[in-house]
């Protein structure tokens, strides 16, 4: 089976990995099923795993202005929660199943064991995470600069800060 044509290889997390390396990562995962409206993780939870979604779709929700806002919808063959492999910081958003969802979970501890054993595939994943996060940071800074310039325009009320937050979060790719 060619995993790269049937699986996750188009995702930037797996950039530069061959079939054997993708298979190696998939073998380190645990299969999990979630039902419709089930919470996969909540904003503020400690990050402990990356998730590879085989089937289904999820909403990514972020809390601001005392409300939850949907900031993204993800579908099969998407990866989310990758920051857990590099940090135990609290989750920045919640993920809720929109339908029955099959996920492969890669725990940070299993991934870190791979790194401690000088696993080349884990090293490539780490580099890809750094690239993904750098790209996100650059997009966020660009968006921040654009929106900051808009806020400085005459006649724009400071109450537009909520709009500013929504626009920043809406461009965040998971």
pLDDT digit string (tens) for 20-76? 898 899 899 999 999 999 999 999 999 899 999 999 999 999 988 788 888 889 999
Q: What is the pTM of this model?
A: 0.77
Nearest to 12 by CA among 113, 105, 106, 124: 124
**Is the Cα dihedral 48, 121, 29, 61 positive or negative?**
positive
| Homologous superfamily (CATH) for 3-170 | Jelly Rolls (2.60.120.10)
């Amino acid at each position: 089976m060619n995993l790269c044509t049937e699986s996750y290889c188009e995702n930037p997390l797996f950039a530069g990995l061959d079939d054997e390396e993708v298979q190696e990562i998939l073998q380190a995962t645990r299969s999990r099923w979630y039902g419709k409206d089930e919470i996969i993780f909540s904003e503020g939870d400690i990050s402990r795993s990356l998730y590879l979604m085989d089937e289904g779709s999820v909403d990514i929700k972020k809390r601001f202005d005392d409300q939850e806002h949907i900031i993204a919808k993800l579908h099969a063959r998407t990866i989310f929660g990758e920051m857990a492999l590099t940090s135990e910081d609290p989750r920045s958003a919640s993920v809720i199943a929109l339908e029955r969802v099959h996920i492969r979970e890669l725990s940070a501890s299993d991934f870190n064991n791979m790194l401690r054993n000088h696993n080349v595939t884990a090293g490539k994943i780490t580099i890809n995470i750094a690239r993904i996060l750098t790209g996100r940071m650059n997009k966020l800074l660009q968006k921040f600069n654009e929106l900051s310039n808009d806020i400085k325009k005459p006649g724009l009320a400071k109450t537009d800060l909520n709009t500013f937050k929504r626009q920043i979060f809406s461009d965040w790719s998971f």
